[in-house]
């Protein structure tokens, strides 16, 4: 860990307000970005980020310099997002659209297309929250299905199912984006031709 960060953390532990403000400024965008990956709205992400920062400052004495501070803060943010998700789970209706949207030709076109990180994030945000949360935890954060099941309070098979269905829906969404992005050949209208009378 760099000396500047170590000193800043020490000052934060001594309740130095300017150090706390500096630490917040240094990592706030990363905390918010992590929170945003697990929510449906910027307002929810801001709530999760705020709760995360409260936990960071409350438990700062438990941080050891042998760990990555950024990783420690990200783990707190992810756990806070999971708690937020579980609190709100009973209020959400979960629609399973993966089976009807995932077609084999969609998967082929998705493999051929290249997407920007912004497009992938947009596609992820379009997923139902349950799918998105499991994909984020499994693929991005590296949690095992057992850890996800424990965190979300679900069965391991539910985690596996959510990941599988979420991947299919994500592939279908990306394939759809890839189809829209493909240029229309000259002379083609982009729609099926109707027979002439």
Tell me if 78 sits within 8 A of 151, measured CB to CB.
Answer: no
* Same domain membership, residue 128 and residue 76: no
What value does the CA radius of gyration of the chain take, rounded to a whole number of Å?
Answer: 21
CB atoms within 10 A of CB 150: 14
Predicted confidence at residue 176, as pLDDT, reads: 81
Give the integer Cα–Cα distance in Å for 9 and 25.
13
Token pair in block for residue 130 = 């349950």
Tell me if 149 sits within 8 A of 158, measured CB to CB.
Answer: yes
Tell whether 83 is covered by a domain.
Answer: yes
* Of residues 115 and 195, more confidently modeled: 115
* Same domain membership, residue 17 and residue 83: yes
User: Domain with 163 in it: what CATH number?
Assistant: 1.10.10.10
Q: What mean pLDDT do residues 85-107 have?
A: 46
pTM: 0.54
Give the integer Cα–Cα distance in Å for 135 and 91.
21
SS3 of the chain: the string is CCHHHHHHHHHHHCCCHHHHHHHHHHHHHHHHHHHHCCCCCHHHHHHHHHHHHHHHHHCHHHCCCCCCHHHHHHHHHHHHHHHHHHHHHCCCCCCCCHHHHCCHHHHHHHHHCCCCHHHHHHHHHHCCHHHHHHHHHHHHCCCCHHHHHHHHCCCHHHHHHHHHHHHHHHHHHHHHHHHHHCCCCCCCCCCCCCCCC
Tell whether 190 is covered by a domain.
Answer: no
Tell whether 189 is covered by a domain.
Answer: no
Tell whether 194 is covered by a domain.
Answer: no
Q: How many domains does the structure of the chain reveal?
A: 2
Q: Determine the angle formed by the axes of helices 69-89 and 42-58, rounding to 10 degrees.
A: 130
Give the integer Cα–Cα distance in Å for 108 and 92.
32
Point out the least confidently predicted range of 57-66, 177-186, 188-197: 188-197
- Which residues span the domain enclosing 32? 3-89
* Same domain membership, residue 111 and residue 168: yes
Give the integer Cα–Cα distance in Å for 145 and 155.
9
| Model confidence at 194: pLDDT above 50 | no
- Which pLDDT tens digit goes with each residue over 129-158? 888 889 888 887 888 889 888 888 888 888
| Model confidence at 102: pLDDT above 50 | no
Give the integer Cα–Cα distance in Å for 15 and 180.
53
């Amino acid at each position: 860990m760099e000396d500047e960060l170590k000193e800043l953390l020490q000052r934060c532990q001594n309740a130095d307000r300017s150090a706390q403000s500096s630490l917040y400024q240094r990592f706030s965008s990363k905390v918010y970005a992590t929170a945003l990956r697990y929510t449906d709205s910027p307002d929810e992400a801001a709530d999760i980020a705020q709760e995360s920062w409260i936990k960071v400052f409350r438990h700062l004495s438990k941080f050891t310099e042998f760990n990555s501070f950024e990783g420690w803060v990200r783990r707190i943010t992810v756990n806070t997002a999971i708690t937020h998700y579980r609190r709100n789970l009973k209020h959400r209706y979960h629609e399973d659209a993966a089976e009807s949207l995932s077609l084999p030709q969609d998967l082929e076109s998705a493999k051929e297309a290249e997407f920007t990180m912004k497009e992938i994030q947009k596609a992820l945000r379009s997923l139902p929250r349950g799918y998105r949360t499991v994909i984020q935890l499994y693929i991005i954060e590296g949690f095992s299905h057992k850890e996800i099941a424990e965190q979300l309070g679900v069965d391991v098979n539910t985690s596996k199912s959510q990941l599988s269905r979420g991947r299919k829906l994500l592939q279908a969404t990306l394939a759809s984006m890839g189809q829209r992005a493909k240029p229309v050949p000259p002379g083609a209208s982009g729609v099926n031709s109707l027979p002439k009378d």
